[in-house]
A and B are shown apart, each in its own frame.
Chain A
Amino acid sequence: MLSSNLILELYIFALAAFLGYQLISKVPSVLHTPLMSATNAIHGIILVGAISLATVAHGVLGTVIALAALILATMNVVGGFVVTDRILEMFSKQHTKVSDTR
């Protein structure tokens, strides 16, 4: 059961978990919301899974599940990135202002 593929994937899992934890540990609290929102968009990568499902889906049940997964995942990706960009637009506006006044 433990193929070398699975071992490799478990390596990836462990390192990605460590990286995610480390990257976020020291961040100013003002950026917590944009970070939450951006990582929210990133897990929209599930759309790749939804596409794989949709390319091979068959039968009524398969079609329904694939369609629903596609719609939900696309909403996650598109909505996630757009919302994050709107939040961050505020920050960059702030920043140009700060440098203007200096």
Chain B
Amino acid sequence: MTIVRALVYLITTVFFVYGVMRLRQPATARSGNSLAAVGMFLALIVTLVGVSIHHPLILIIGILVGGVVGASSARLVPMTAMPQMVALFNGMGGGAAALVACGDVLRLVPSARTGPAGLAIALIDILIGAVSFSGSIIAFAKLNEWMTGRPITYRGQRTVNGVVFGLLIVGGVYLVVSGAAGQAGIFVAYALGAVALGVLGVVPIGGGDMPVIISLLNSFTGLSVAATGFLLGNDVLIVAGTFVGASGAILTQLMSRAMNRPLGNIVFGAFGKLQTGAGEAREGTVQQTSPEDVAILLSYANRVVIVPGYGLAVARAQQEVKELMTKLEAKGVDVMFGIHPVAGRMPGHMNVLLAEVDVPYQKLYDMEAINSEFPRTDVVLVVGANDVTNPDARNNPNSPIYGMPILNVDQAQRVIVLKRSMNPGFAGIDNPLYVHPKCQMLFGDARQSLGLLLQALSEVVA
């Protein structure tokens, strides 16, 4: 049976790797995901077959509860909430890995690695898994707006985090040297400390940086799963965990590169803290406009570029944007969409939302392609995007986002910004675009504003 199991695990590994290979092209991506799921299913079946189970009821309850909760929550949440669901499920995996490692330390499961080395692996496993668990839950809470998306900082925060991390290392070394048996108090404190470290570490990170953090924590979970594989002597856990750990690491790198910020700056920078210094007061005034004026402006334009952002996702205004596109095209206006790589809360977030309402793929332009079009554009309509249009990233070396590649919307003839209020965006940074003479603001919820705009289009410009 062990041979059969090992062979099936090998097949599972092949399914995983081939699945991810297919996930690298849009056309085959979905089948790649299904292949990986089939591989997972095979591994689970062969793990269950032929084992004598102490408490079958626990197994049934656990899988049933987890399956129902996982499937229904993944099915029922709106598309806009997908980023936080990824964070949540990632945290669950990290928690599970940490728990299995705890079971190993407590001698609840036959271990392949005994002695100090096994204990050291288990403790590293618990540390990484628990950090991923609590950190992902904080990321989920921030994105789901259960808590503020802004960085939460206080004096001496880094010192506190450093001390907690140092204590965990010291405690871990002590446990390994002295042997965990009879040190239950310290072991429990160690596990709880690891959970606390995840919370402390993610709390100071702004919501705008969450995609990168989720990717990093995804990599962490992969590594803790690999560590569990070493503990149990289970090859499929080692392969799959390491595979995810490595791919998560490179994904994290690619994402932080798209934001033009080193990873260290994202993790430790408390980026997006409200700037309190009054030094850079706004110059110029904000010009407000009305749906009717915008309707006229748009219908007489030759080319309109729509720049969607997180505000679009929050307001669930994708249907209205699609209608606006259809109406304008009926009037002979050339409509394009400019998609910044980090618009929204995840790379590709905007593409997914616009695809949901059948905006043709060819109308979505990435940053490089659309930036060369702005000088020949009559009107740019910014729908709920902020930091990715901030000219300070180009012009102001003192700005925290200086150097981040942005959409150069200020090079178009006119810019209309649909925005809820003058509050700064997720990053908490002033946007001088809003006081630019070319720019006019249409305040309100993106969906309502677009509704009014559509109405005005059919009434005013018949």
Chain A residues positioned under 8 Å from B272 (CB to CB): none
Interface segment, B72-80, B200-208, B377-385? B72-80
CA distance A15 to B228 in the complex (A): 18
**Contact bitstring A39-51, B, C-beta under 8 A = 1, else 0:** 1111111111111
Q: Are B239 and A16 in contact (CB under 8 A)?
A: yes
Q: What 7 A-B pairs come out closest when comparing CB atoms?
A: A70-B62, A74-B66, A20-B246, A79-B70, A78-B70, A82-B74, A76-B93
A56, A65, A84, most chain B CB atoms within 10 A: A84
B160 close to chain A: CB less than 8 A = no
Q: Which residues of B contact A (CB under 8 A)?
A: 12, 16-17, 19-21, 23-27, 29-30, 32-34, 36-37, 40, 43-44, 47-48, 51-55, 58-59, 61-63, 65-67, 69-71, 73-75, 79, 82-83, 85-86, 88-90, 92-93, 95-97, 99-100, 102-103, 106, 108-110, 112-113, 115, 117, 211, 214-215, 218, 221-222, 225-226, 228-230, 232-251, 254-255, 258, 341, 346-349, 351-352, 355-356, 358, 360-362, 366
Q: Are B250 and A24 in contact (CB under 8 A)?
A: yes
A97 shortest CB reach to chain B, Å: 6
B238 shortest CB reach to chain A, Å: 5
Cβ-closest chain B residue relative to A37: B86
Chain B residues positioned under 8 Å from A63 (CB to CB): 55, 58
Picked from B79, B238, B355, the residue with its CB within 8 Å of the CB of A12 is B238
Q: Are B349 and A53 in contact (CB under 8 A)?
A: no
Add 7 more A-B contacts to A44-B89, A81-B37 (CB < 8 A). Answer: A26-B24, A39-B218, A50-B99, A72-B92, A78-B71, A85-B34, A91-B352
**Contact bitstring A1-14, B, C-beta under 8 A = 1, else 0:** 10001100100110
Picked from B27, B100, B103, B244, the residue with its CB within 8 Å of the CB of A43 is B244
Chain B residues positioned under 8 Å from A101 (CB to CB): 360
B315 shortest CB reach to chain A, Å: 19
Chain A residues positioned under 8 Å from B255 (CB to CB): 32
Cβ-closest chain B residue relative to A57: B108
Q: Are A97 and B97 in contact (CB under 8 A)?
A: no
Q: Are A20 and B70 in contact (CB under 8 A)?
A: no
Q: Which residues of A contact B (CB under 8 A)?
A: 1, 5-6, 9, 12-13, 16-21, 23-59, 61-63, 65-95, 97-98, 101
CA distance A20 to B69 in the complex (A): 30
Q: Are A36 and B66 in contact (CB under 8 A)?
A: no
CA distance A81 to B11 in the complex (A): 18
| Inter-chain CB contacts under 8 Å: number | 382
Chain A residues positioned under 8 Å from B19 (CB to CB): 38, 42
Q: Are A71 and B66 in contact (CB under 8 A)?
A: yes
Chain B residues positioned under 8 Å from A50 (CB to CB): 62, 96, 99-100
Chain A residues positioned under 8 Å from B26 (CB to CB): 28, 30-31, 91, 94-95
CA distance A73 to B309 in the complex (A): 33
Picked from A16, A35, A72, A94, the residue with its CB within 8 Å of the CB of B242 is A16
B92 shortest CB reach to chain A, Å: 4
Picked from A21, A31, A91, the residue with its CB within 8 Å of the CB of B250 is A21
B84 shortest CB reach to chain A, Å: 10
Chain A residues positioned under 8 Å from B356 (CB to CB): 90, 93
A41 shortest CB reach to chain B, Å: 7
A43, A55, A59, most chain B CB atoms within 10 A: A43
Q: Are A31 and B24 in contact (CB under 8 A)?
A: yes
Q: Are A20 and B55 in contact (CB under 8 A)?
A: no
B355 shortest CB reach to chain A, Å: 4
A54, A65, A84, A88, most chain B CB atoms within 10 A: A54
Contact (A65, B102) CB under 8 Å given A24-B250, A86-B82:
yes
